[in-house]
Chain A
Amino acid sequence: MRSRIILSILWVLAAASLILPLTALTQQRETVYGEKSETQTEKELTPGPGWKTCPRCTNNKQLAAAYKKYQVEGHAFDPKDISGIWGSNGLELDVKTVPPFTPEGQKMFEATRSEIPTTNSRDGMLICDPLGYPRWYAYNYGMQFVVLPDRVLQFFEWGHTWRDIWTDGRKLPDDPPTPRWLGYAVGRWEGDTFVVEGTGYDDRSWISEDRRNRIRGFAHSDKMRTIERYHRTSYGSLETEMTIIDPVVFTQPWTTKKKVDLRPNAELWEYFCVPSESDDYNRKLIDAAKASKK
């Protein structure tokens, strides 16, 4: 009888311990992340008549209105035309599918560990190093494909830069003359899917920040290769797949599948990482956090 009472109490505690933190998290999210905001308006901010807003300037109300205005639902499309602005933040990599590290990969991952727990002090982004690829795929404030006869241009608002994906039949270099932050990329069509292969990446960049606790980044070697697949399934929707192959770091390929939405109301604005602005920000808000830990 006594053990039954203890068991009952434990069940109640278990239920409460599962429900209460979830409730607290939900409240925290609503409070801090601003899903309810009296200042988020339906009116978009643009530079003037004829100009458009930017992907990341658009809140959910404005995006819903834009989808109606531009008649995105049911709009005619050519699956072999991936032109347009896609998303507003990048295609974050799936950390749930990160493959096991090799011993060397584990060491490289640990070497990225921040000196402080509040932000990643070793992140090159803090000093405006180029994000490199595929980090620019994962984090970009909006990505635009422009299709030309001999290449597809992939533009990113963050850093205001672009990547050339050559479609003129050339092969990837076996031994690139120099590593590049954005590597070397060639593309081809497999049915309605645009397949991009990349190589020759500069190993100073990270694949991505590790968003699980934001104190490390996923490092890669100069042997990393990438394979991307893009499939436009409707006028407003692009299915994407990113596979990262780096035998120095991972025991298996790392694949992330996503879907990204068209931003019909937007054009890419300008986001440069400006060293003087970053210095100011780091001094005021990052160094203060570091100092408090010394």
Chain B
Amino acid sequence: MRLRKVFAMAVLATLIAFPLIVSAHHSRAHYGLEEQTTTGSVVEYKWRNPHVYVVWEVKDQGGKATQWVGEMASVTSMIADGMTKDSLKQGDTITVIAFPSKNPGSTEALIKKITRSDGKVVVDNSRVPNLRQP
């Protein structure tokens, strides 16, 4: 009886630990899981492989400007998601929902959604799972 209880406890302990082991394989490199929403002005829109990216400048209340680099996926993947070479241009005001890098001080982010100031959603739920192979 005592052995059965010990066995049951061991099984349970394994079950509790198991998902932690599985979850570790789903890490998304250096991007965090916390969303950040910023509004700023497009500095550069690079419609290029291996991954499309946008640079936008955000000003804080004191007027200090920070340039963010937002990563998306390959040109053809972004076409599937509804983007084109003309989706953004320099000077456009955009609101960006993105997952910033976990690296301290980094201004890189993985793009989730971009909306232009005219209300047009440029990309929604970008499906970038990792740096190189979307």
- Taking Cβ atoms with an 8 Å cutoff, the residues of A that contact B are 3, 7, 10-11, 13-14, 17-18, 20-22, 25, 28, 31-41, 45, 53-59, 62, 117-120, 123, 125-126, 139, 141, 157, 209, 211-214, 269, 271-274, 277-278, 280-281, 284-286, 288-289, 292-293
Counting from the closest, the 4 A-B pairs by CB-CB distance are A39-B82, A34-B125, A292-B103, A34-B127
Determine the interface band of chain B, counting residues with CB < 8 A from chain A. Answer: 35 or more
Q: How far is the CA of A3 from the CA of B4 in the complex (A)?
A: 12
Is B126 part of the binding interface, using a Cβ–Cβ cutoff of 8 Å? yes
Q: List 22 A-B contacts (CB under 8 A).
A: A7-B12, A11-B12, A17-B15, A18-B19, A33-B125, A37-B81, A39-B122, A54-B76, A56-B77, A57-B76, A58-B80, A118-B29, A123-B132, A272-B49, A281-B51, A284-B69, A285-B51, A285-B131, A289-B103, A289-B106, A289-B108, A292-B30
User: Which residue of chain A has the shortest Cβ distance to B16 in the bound complex?
Assistant: A17
List of A residues within 8 angstroms of B112 by Cβ: 31-32
Q: Pick from A11, A17, A40: contact of B81, CB below 8 A.
A: A40
Q: Is the CB of B25 within 8 A of A286?
A: no
Q: A39-B83, A271-B49, A285-B51 are in contact. Are A139 and B133 (CB under 8 A)?
A: yes
Q: Is the CB of B26 within 8 A of A33?
A: no
Chain B 96-127: CB-based contact to A (< 8 A → 1; otherwise 0): 00010101111010101000000001111111
- Taking Cβ atoms with an 8 Å cutoff, the residues of B that contact A are 5, 8-9, 12-13, 15-16, 18-20, 22-23, 25-30, 33, 46, 48-51, 53, 69, 71, 74-77, 79-84, 99, 101, 103-106, 108, 110, 112, 121-133
Q: Which of A7, A126, A213, A284 has the most CB of B within 10 A?
A: A284
Q: How far is the CA of A3 from the CA of B129 in the complex (A)?
A: 44
Q: How far is the CA of A119 from the CA of B18 in the complex (A)?
A: 25
Q: Is the CB of A286 within 8 A of B49?
A: no
Q: Which of A34, A35, A123, A272 has the most CB of B within 10 A?
A: A34
Q: Is the CB of A59 within 8 A of B103?
A: no
User: Which residue of chain A has the shortest Cβ distance to B123 in the bound complex?
Assistant: A39
Q: How far is the CA of A77 from the CA of B71 in the complex (A)?
A: 42
Q: How far is the CB of A162 from chain B (nearest CB, A)?
A: 19
Q: Is the CB of A41 within 8 A of B82?
A: yes
Q: Is the CB of B106 within 8 A of A292?
A: yes
List of B residues within 8 angstroms of A25 by Cβ: 23, 26
Q: How far is the CB of B80 from chain A (nearest CB, A)?
A: 4
Q: How far is the CA of A40 from the CA of B131 in the complex (A)?
A: 21
Q: How far is the CB of A219 from chain B (nearest CB, A)?
A: 18
Q: Which of A39, A45, A55, A271 has the most CB of B within 10 A?
A: A39
Q: How far is the CA of A123 from the CA of B69 in the complex (A)?
A: 23
List of A residues within 8 angstroms of B18 by Cβ: 17-18
List of A residues within 8 angstroms of B27 by Cβ: 213
